[in-house]
Structure 1
């Protein structure tokens, strides 16, 4: 039997708690105690289920009454308080990074595929109280129309909307004394026949308009463009997709060396990729103007990749490794632009972060409006408001 699937099923059941009870006519004190028991057993089965949030949400929608079409707000706000320091340690400064995303989406479901469209406003950037020590002096705001498709994850083969049926199975599982008994129970075998676990994936593309600038707006440019991105999560550690994720190999070895007890494997940490094309209008850029006095609009392509995995666990804290790479390339740039290195920009960031929000990071490269490469170190604390 699949222990991970046991965890998925029980954690969702415990999450719904009394909601399922409302479908029954009588709820006795003994049944309420049984509900508490299953929550305790789920807690004993937890093994750092990082990156499973989306999968659990997908499963929750399957167990709840099915909505074929609905609207919802998808809001997210991150604020990082940090200290910057340049490579030779001669300059340092306090600062912060922000990332606010407001999105309104309409999602429909057909079979095991979800389709959606949304309008989103995203603004993000890095601000240093000493702008000379800013590793990411690039503020970016975009208004976008998005289309996306989501598939895979936990699927229910039969009776997906029968809440009484699932509630009764949950209560029966709660009567067993430990996880081993649950795994050998006939109710668990029946549950395995109802729930199947498949690779999860998401594909998203958009049409957007934006404004890019440095932190004091002395340089700025408008953009019109489109983006295509996506990712895959393989829940089977022996699948081809899991084996092809060579980026996670050294971290998997470190987890094994440090006897990490979680169930994370390389298939869950496959990178996220994004490709884009923009038509850029340089409204104000004094340095570029020296090479292009008319500040003519130009086409630009860009590429981004993000990677996140677990390093290990120390006491009650989980340590993560995060990295990202960004690349911008002007298409058919003039010789004057190329000679001054204004046609391409690349930037790499790597960070180690704890589950409490503390992190340290290293960045190297340059972004639009930067005129030279620079290495910068950061230490800070991350707040997330959902």
Structure 2
């Protein structure tokens, strides 16, 4: 029996649980827990209506390790899939260790009091998971996740080495709102407002947030402005591709988003330090996140497509010299909503979370300790992307990006 416990009840969790229910041959029992049980119940009702599968729901504070440990022991899953906030990664890992259960997430740990996402905190769990004979798989979303698998597939099938790598994340969707984020507002804005960093010649180069911009013509979307950012998969790619000379991450933003964000920054609404308001401490960014539209509510109004992929340059496997390949997925917001009731940003993260869980539950990916996506065989994961709603394509380009 492949019993699974999913923690978190946002849009990504909704997609993941729907897709698990659609693959009942792998996921025999699905359990869903969150701080707000009513959100779990809503997802469970949608899953039941769409697939006929029953999802059991629970209320839990994922930061309360003893209570979470007891819940895991009560359910007895083979795997815990963490789709909660990145702040909760370490307590959930602690609970998995205490309960003796494998672990998977989609985003690396981030301290509440500093917008800094690094793998060091989770990599430090290596020996503890190994000693218990357990596996922890980090970052099985799209970026991080699929983008790393894309790179390793290219290295296995097309390129002997990867000299330069650019990850391009384009959301060409329109949700009809004046300002809204397509995934958790708090995490989204912390990422966007953090300094940009890219890997160059063995070191990190830091630049002010949102200051380096390029235009790129995305298939099925069109020309879009994309901004250099830091994203966590750059850290693991730099580690597992030692030959990498330059690694960059780009994300598209419309002018309206940039203008709104600039104003919010200027008036202090993106701050993460608590302030005193009417005798209570509040974090401005958390308050902002509470008043913005919830990402899981954007599905009915969102149209357009996403295009996310890698452009990699290196020496060809066949010895024919240096070559450049572009490997990418295009996802349609309306099709994603029709299938799971969620827009494509949630879909492109939730489906890879399900696939990573399937890799572990079937024993296709197995190990003892803490693992990143780059350490696994990309082929079975890539095969499931094609059959589970995220088909990919690869084409050769004339050369690397010239900026």
TM over 0.5: no
Structure number with higher helix proportion: 2
In the superposition, the TM-score normalised over structure 1's length comes to 0.28
Structure number with higher strand proportion: 1
Q: Which has the larger radius of gyration?
A: 1
